[in-house]
Amino acid sequence: MTTLDQIAAPNRRRRFGSLTLWAGIALVGIHIAVGLLTVVWSPYDPSGMTGGRLEAPSWLHWAGTDRLGRDFLTQIMIGSRIALIVGTGAAAIGAIIGVTLGLLAAFATKLLDDAFAATLDILIAFPTLLIAMLVVAAADTANLGSAIFALGIALSAIVARLTRILTKRVLLLDYITAARTSGTSWLGIVFRHILPNIWPTLSVSFALQFGLAAIAEASLSYLGLGAPPPNASWGRLLQEAQGTVYTAPIGAIAPGIALVSLVIGINLLADGLRDSVDPTRRAR
C-alpha cells in the first residue's frame, strides 16, 4: 500500500500544482476580461441614474443600484479595471526600484550595505498604507497616478530587502565564483545567474505586492485619498455602502467579494507559476 501511495504521490502533486495555477488563471482572467470589457462596454452608463435608489438585485440590475440610482454591477466592473491598473502599476514601480536598489546594496561595500539595510528595516516598520498616505499627502492632488506612485514607493522597500537577501545568498554559491573565475563581468553575472535564480521567489513576492497594492488602494479610496470619482474604486464603493449596509447589504458584499477574489487569484497564480518556472520543482 505504502509503495503504491509513494508512486502515486508525485503525480498527485503535479495535478494539484496545475490546479492551483488554473484556479489562479481563471480568477485573474475573469478580472482582466471584465476590466478590458469596461473600456469599450458596460451594462449601463456608470454615472447615469438608470434606476430607483438602492434597488435590490433584479434582472435589470444584477447587483442592484446605489443610493443615486446608478447600476451597481457597472461600478464593480469598473472597479476591476482600477484595481488591476493600480496593482500592476504599483507592483511594477515597486519591482523596478526595489530590485535595482536591492542588487546595488548586495554589491555595495559593507558600510553602505549596513546603512541601507538599517534604512529599509525602518521603512518596512511603517505600514505600507501609512507611507502611501504620506506620499499622497505630499503630492497634494489625489488622482490615480499619485496613488499608484505612492503605493509603488511604499512597496519598493519590501522588494529591495528581499532582493538584497536573496542576492547575497546566491553570491556565496560556487557557481558565481566559478563564473567569476572564468572572467564573467558583474553585469553578466547579474543578468545570467542572479536574476534567473532569484526570480522564482521574487515573482511570488511581486504577486503578493500586487495583492497588497490592490488592498491598499481600496483602503486609500475608502479614506478618500484614492482616485476621485468617477473612478469607481472598490474602496470607495465600500465607503459609500457604509451607511446603508443594513438596508442594502449587497453594496458592501459585492465589492468585498470582488477584491478578495482578485487577491486570492493572483496568489494562486503566483504559486503555480513559481512551480513551473523552477525546473528543480517542476514535475517531469
Partner 1 sequence: MSALLDIKQLSLHTENVRLLYGVDLTIAPGERVGLIGESGSGKSLTAMAATGLLPTNIRASGSITLAGRPVIDASEHQLNLLRGSAAAVVFQEPLTALDPLMRIGRQIAEPLRRRAARDGQRLSGTELDAAVLAMMGDVALPDPERIARAYPHEISGGQRQRVAIAMALACKPSLLIADEPTTALDVTTQAEILCLLDRLVRERNMALLFISHDLPVVAGIVDRVVVLRQGEVVEAGPVHQVFAHPQHAYTQSLVAAAHAFDTALGAAP
| Binders of partner 1 in range 197-256 (CB under 8 A) | 197
What DSSP state is assigned to residue 56? P
Q: How far, in whole angstroms, is CA 137 from its chain's centroid?
A: 22
Using alpha carbons only, give the angle 132, 138, 144 rounded to the nearest 5 degrees: 60
Of 78, 84, 44, 81, give the one whose Cα is nearest residue 64. Answer: 44
The residue from 112, 115, 178, 257 that contacts partner 1 (CB under 8 A) is 178
The residue from 196, 224, 229, 230 that contacts partner 1 (CB under 8 A) is 196
**Least distance CB 13 / partner 1 (angstroms):** 17
The residue from 11, 47, 58, 177 that contacts partner 1 (CB under 8 A) is 177
The residue from 16, 122, 130, 175 that contacts partner 1 (CB under 8 A) is 175
Report the distance separating Cα 206 and Cα 88, nearest Å: 9
Fill in the per-residue mask, 105 to 134: x = in contact with partner 1 (CB under 8 A), - = not in contact.
-----x------------------------
Report the distance separating Cα 120 and Cα 110, nearest Å: 15
What DSSP state is assigned to residue 66? -
Residue 181 binds partner 1 (CB under 8 A) = yes
Residue 16 binds partner 1 (CB under 8 A) = no
Looking at residue 277, its amino acid is V
Residue 279 binds partner 1 (CB under 8 A) = yes
Whether the bond into 230 is cis, omega within 30 of 0 = yes
| Residue numbers at the binding site for partner 1 (CB under 8 A) | 110, 173-175, 177-186, 192-193, 196-197, 278-280
